[in-house]
Amino acid sequence: MNLPLFPLNTVLFPACMLDLQIFEARYLDMISRCMKQGSGFGVVCIVEGQEAGEAASQFAAIGCEALVRDFQQRPNGLLGIRVEGGRRFRVERAQVLPDQLTIADVHWLDEQSDYPLLPEHADLAALLTALAEHPLVSGLGMASLVDGQQQLANQLAYLLPLEPAQKLELLQQGDPTLRLERLQVLLERLQGDA
């Protein structure tokens, strides 16, 4: 599967919302093609380099498909889009086109079955509910009440102030139970540092 990539300083997770401002010609063209074809693009976290200008010199090998859910012209005249995270993927091969857009051959990662929330997830679910009340989070329109481990793990991993490397480790983990266990460890570290 050939997928255009949008390297960013963030890690997108399935079913999570991300607002973007598009101003570079390569990405305006990419978004236009995606909307016409009803397809998505890949969000990959920049490991080295920057978001604007030249293509990022290095980005993570794992990413998340982004599906355009809404768009509007911003007061500053730029295109604003809201995307929803779709499928996870691994970059097999990537190349930079003459217009500096990066395209990649990707391998879609299998999603494990979701499991219902268990009593031991009550604290994590309460944390997500508290996060959902923050104006920046509520403005994204993500569901604050989750019914499965996958959604809880994805939203917490996306919203918590973790290092990009930690978020990438969580994105790579396909098992929602193991992802929640790892999140619990990372949260305890965060609280210990506070």
Contact 42, 5 (CB under 8 A): yes
Count of beta carbons in the 10 Å neighbourhood of residue 30:
20
Q: What is the pLDDT of residues 58-111, one digit of tens each?
A: 899 999 999 999 999 888 888 999 999 999 999 999 998 998 899 999 999 998
Asked if the domains at 2-108 and 119-193 fall in one CATH topology, the answer is no
Average pLDDT over residues 15-25: 93
Instruction: Give the pLDDT band (50/70/90) at residue 144.
Output: low
Instruction: Give the pLDDT band (50/70/90) at residue 190.
Output: confident
Report the topology of domain 2-108. Answer: 2.30.130
Write down the domain spans for the chain. 2-108, 119-193
CA dist 183 and 156 (Å) reads: 8
For the 119-193 domain, the top CATH level (class) is mainly alpha
Nearest one of 42, 82, 46, 97 to 64, comparing CA atoms: 42
